[in-house]
């Protein structure tokens, strides 16, 4: 009995080896699981469900194969693929969850997130996030031609990379702080939901953190990215394990 969690795969045509690793993971391990949760940034970029990319089609087919053998697949949108919509969900068979979402794993309630909402020290990103999650902005963006949307995504990625490189050069310590979760935001989240376990991705800092929140002992599990290798959290009735693939 195992429930699997992955996030931050950032799949695209430029990294075919990782896409193949995802396919192998879905064919072998995911088919044997009780459920699979994908906590955002499955894709490097997603500009709408009408994107005809081979990578998108391949990923949808691999998810559908897992769903068709009886394993439910759940998805939380990330900061790179927040435009994944109902059409892709129907095609792949996965179910889209809100961010955050409370689920029950082997009788225990657990809070799931992509994780970017916790990076509250990055005020510029939080402003961008608020803008791009606005339904009016999304409707206007999706009404543009596919080529224009792809160009916007490429420009946004380049700007983000340049900003991060600049931050690293100017103040590495500040960069690490801004791009990680804010402890006050984590504490507030645990206090709000009254749940002892949080699982998220986004920061690319895989670890299991034991925390004291008020009079409670809590755990924050951070999933790893798939830039150089795979990363998976295996949750079983008697515990959990974070591993590289």
Residue 168's Cα: distance from chain center in Å?
Answer: 23
Looking at residue 244, its pLDDT comes to 93
The pLDDT value recorded for residue 169 is 62
pLDDT for 11 equals: 97
φ and ψ of 45, to 5 deg: -155, 150
Range scoring the smallest mean pLDDT among 141-150, 174-183, 196-205? 174-183
| Structural domain containing residue 141 | 3-244
Residue showing tokens 């606005």? 134
Arithmetic mean of pLDDT, 95-116: 97
Q: Which pLDDT score is estimated for 161?
A: 79
pLDDT tens for 3-33 read 999 999 999 999 999 999 999 999 999 999 9
Phi, psi of 180 (to 5 degrees): -105, 170
Q: pLDDT digit string (tens) for 149-165?
A: 999 988 888 887 777 77
Contact 26, 38 (CB under 8 A): no
Distance, in Å, from the CA atom of 148 to the CA atom of 155, rounded to the nearest integer, reads 11
Specify the pLDDT at position 150.
92
Mean pLDDT, rounded, of the chain: 93
How confident is residue 77, by pLDDT bands cut at 50, 70 and 90? Answer: very high
* pLDDT recorded at residue 214: 84
pLDDT tens profile 206-244: 999 999 988 899 999 999 999 989 999 999 999 999 999
Per the structure, the count of domains in the chain is 1
Question: For residues 56 and 25, is the Cβ–Cβ distance under 8 A?
Answer: no
Domain of 137: which CATH number? Answer: 3.60.21.10
Provide the pLDDT for residue 75.
98
Residue 90 pLDDT > 80: yes
| pLDDT the model gives residue 178 | 75
Overall size of the chain counted in residues = 245
Give me the mean pLDDT over the 170-199 stretch: 86
Measured distance CA(194)–CA(215) in Å, rounded: 11
pTM: predicted TM-score of the whole model, two decimal places: 0.94
Sheet containing 207-213: give its strands across.
101-105, 108-112, 197-200, 216-222, 207-213
């Amino acid at each position: 009995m195992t429930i699997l969690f992955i996030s931050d795969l950032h799949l695209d045509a430029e990294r075919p080896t990782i896409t193949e690793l995802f396919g192998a993971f879905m064919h072998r391990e995911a088919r044997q699981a009780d459920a699979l949760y994908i906590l955002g940034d499955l894709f490097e970029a997603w500009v709408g469900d009408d994107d005809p990319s081979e990578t998108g089609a391949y990923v949808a087919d691999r998810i559908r194969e897992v769903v068709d053998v009886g394993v439910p697949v759940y998805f939380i949108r990330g900061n790179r693929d927040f435009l994944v919509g109902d059409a892709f969900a129907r095609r792949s068979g996965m179910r889209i969850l809100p961010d955050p979402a409370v689920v029950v794993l082997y009788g225990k309630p657990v809070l799931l997130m992509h994780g970017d909402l916790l990076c509250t020290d990055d005020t510029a990103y939080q402003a961008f996030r608020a803008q791009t999650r606005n339904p009016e902005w999304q409707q206007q963006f999706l009404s543009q031609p596919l080529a224009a949307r792809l160009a916007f995504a490429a420009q946004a990625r380049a700007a983000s990379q340049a900003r991060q490189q600049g931050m690293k050069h100017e103040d590495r310590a500040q960069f690490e702080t801004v791009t990680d979760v804010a402890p006050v935001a984590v504490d507030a989240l645990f206090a709000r939901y009254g749940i002892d376990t949080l699982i998220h991705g986004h920061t690319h800092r895989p670890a299991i953190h034991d925390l004291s929140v008020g009079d409670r002992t809590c755990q924050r599990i951070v999933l790893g990215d798939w830039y150089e290798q795979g990363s998976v959290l295996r949750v079983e009735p008697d515990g959990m394990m974070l591993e590289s693939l």
